[in-house]
Structure 1
């Protein structure tokens, strides 16, 4: 990990180390499962003694912000958490209206995030988005569906980070948690629709261009248009999947009936 920690300027207490790491987690610089540098390196970057550093890490661990694995280093804890309880998640996963409501919510919140990102993205933000977009293009060329789906989430999360609004960022992270936990399982079905992969790539290019060119209105519209397309594709994928299910049952029934008919004639 590159050096992201700053020298403690004042009294060099554990509290100041804690505050700096908390801020990095809150701002999305440190993400869930990111590994912190080793104790010696971290103490060097902060320019504090190792006893002070150990005290700070202990405080962060008690607060549930980091976890220490015996012999395996120190990591940022899963601080995103679940928006919903397990029983509610189970209900959402089996409720058809929940998918539509989820996408309706995403359309609005991602539109705002893209607008803010176009206004506020720094040169370093743009450099990071360039890298993500390049990886998305490469995954598309390789027809790597798993990687495309993963980078899709990474792309939208980056837009949320570039909005530089802490509440918006963590709301989006919680929103994408529903995707990573497979609460909505129709994402990959959409890739089977004719032209869907190409359309998704073009839509991400449109969001990317608007954000990097600093056009808030165009960025918001591009983000909302993308979710509208996802919404329509979700419906098409579900409909196609149902058609395929019925077609298989129909074929199985016809084959069975023909065999039974042939058997009775004998």
Structure 2
């Protein structure tokens, strides 16, 4: 099942092999890995190196250790605290404009798909998130509601890869949205009421199943963000 290891850091190669097997479909969510004794024999490594690799895969959200049962392949990557896209962005000195470009790229597409695919229940959830944002008392609560509103639109389009990308950048998006809402909340000429109105326009377009109109309103919404006023993310 596994290949014997030579050179390199042993635990890293174990990680790479298991990741490659997942990519090839040889391992799937729910599959149980062989007992550690068998894996050390197949990899021809010691148990400490194997456990180091399994722990790293657990941190990545790919392996789960179940007490008394063994190690299983899982799909906890999206909910995992480890966000490689956000970390890479920071280490490469990314800027606010890049985050806005990512939002344009993803959200103008997903809002079109949402207009085509949204059910009555989907539009109801969007309305509820809009209502919760309006009723929220603090800028922090409002920014969380704003983020939830946009994530819900991405979820409606039912594209797992796009949602994973959006989720992976969640730290950056939360910070970005939080600052934008804060500015609107405390700046008279950039009232929070404008955000409410823009959200409502997007909801109405989705409810009408008008993809072009929905994309147009999303463009207006994102174009009204002033990245030059946002602090470094």
- Aligned-pair distance for 1:184? 8.2
Runs of 4+ in 1 over 4 A off after TM superposition: none
Q: Does the alignment pair 1:112 with 2:125?
A: no
- The reply to whether residue 157 of structure 1 matches residue 151 of structure 2 is yes
**Residue of 129, 132, 136 corresponding to 1:135:** 132
Alpha carbons 1:80, 1:170 under 8 Å: kept: no
Query: CA separation in 2, counterparts of 1:183 and 1:114?
Result: 19
TM-score between both structures, scaled by the size of structure 1: 0.54
Q: How does 1:249-260 map to 2 (within 5 A)?
A: none
Listed as ranges, the matches of 1:24-35 within 5 Å are none
Distance, in Å, in 1 between the alignment partners of 2:176 and 2:92 is 10
Query: Once the two structures are superposed, what CA deviation does each residue of 1:69-104 show, in whole Å capped at 9, x if it has no partner?
Result: xxxxxxx85177220446x51553xx6xx2112212
- Match of 1:65, SS state, is coil
Residues 1:191 and 1:91: Cα distance change in structure 2 (over 3 Å) = farther
1:129-168 deviation per Cα after TM superposition (whole angstroms, max 9, x unaligned): 22212212222xx4x2111100000000000000111111
Q: 5 Å matches for 1:219-258?
A: 219-230=214-225, 232=226, 234-235=227-228, 237=229
Aligned residue pair count: 168
Report SS of the residue matched to 1:214: coil
- Provide the rounded CA distance (Å) in 2 between the counterparts of 1:170 and 1:183: 18
Query: Mapping of 1:191-206 within 5 angstroms?
Result: 191-194=185-188, 195-206=190-201
Gaps of 5+ in 2: 1-26, 32-65
| Post-superposition CA distance 1:37-92 (Å, at most 9, x none) | xxxxxxxxxxxxxx9xx85x9514xx4629xxxxxxxxx85177220446x51553
Among candidates 38, 42, 59, match of residue 72 of structure 2 = 59
Larger Rg: 1
Q: Give the corresponding residue for 2:83.
A: 81
TM-score normalized by the length of structure 2: 0.60
Q: Which runs of 5+ in 1 are unaligned?
A: 1-14, 20-50, 67-75, 242-266
Calculate the aligned-residue CA RMSD, in Å.
Answer: 3.3
Partner secondary structure for residue 226 of structure 1: helix
